Amino acid sequence: MASKEAKPYLVDTRLPAEMGSITVARGLARRVLDECDYRGRHEDVLLVVSELVTNALVHGDGSPALRLEGTMTHIRIEVSDSGPALPEPREPGPASGWGLHVVRLLSTGWGISPGERGKVVWCELAARLAPLQVRPSEA
């Protein structure tokens, strides 16, 4: 029986400007990971989503928007808000949080894109696939 390859999956939604949105965002991320059959560490994606949404709620303005795009091997996360101030990575720790430090460590790339009405903080994560195991043919 041939396996069916999962198709790319996309979620694009506005979240309420309340801390409960972190839980909603994690639920949406779980759905994307399942629907696209993402082969990477789901925990890493969920942590990054939590950090980016938290930063938008605490340091941004207005209701954040969450965009998730996923395939079996790649996830792109974008969180936007209407605040003009761009995030600045700080020395990580209990007093200042871990936010962008965690995003930087877990992602294959990340950045900040300023726009006319705020900014988008984005990152990408890639599944580390094991090399194909070839078994010697039996004689």
Number of C-alpha atoms within 13 angstroms, CB side, residue 50? 14
Q: What pLDDT sits at residue 90?
A: 76
Spell out the per-residue pLDDT of the chain, length 139, in tens: 344 555 688 899 999 999 999 999 999 999 999 999 999 999 999 999 999 999 999 999 999 999 999 999 999 999 999 998 888 777 777 777 778 889 999 999 999 998 888 999 999 999 986 555 556 654 4
Q: What pLDDT sits at residue 134?
A: 59
Q: What pLDDT sits at residue 136?
A: 63
Q: What pLDDT sits at residue 8?
A: 80
| Furthest CA-CA distance within the chain | 68
Q: What pLDDT sits at residue 3?
A: 45
**Roughly what angle, to the nearest 10 degrees, separates helices 21-35 and 42-59?**
150
In this prediction the pTM is 0.84
For residue 114, what are the β-bridge partners?
119
**Roughly what angle, to the nearest 10 degrees, separates helices 42-59 and 99-106?**
150
> Which tokens is 9 given?
């999956």
Alpha helix locations (H) across the chain? 21-35, 42-59, 99-106
Q: Say which residue the tokens 């979620």 belong to.
A: 11
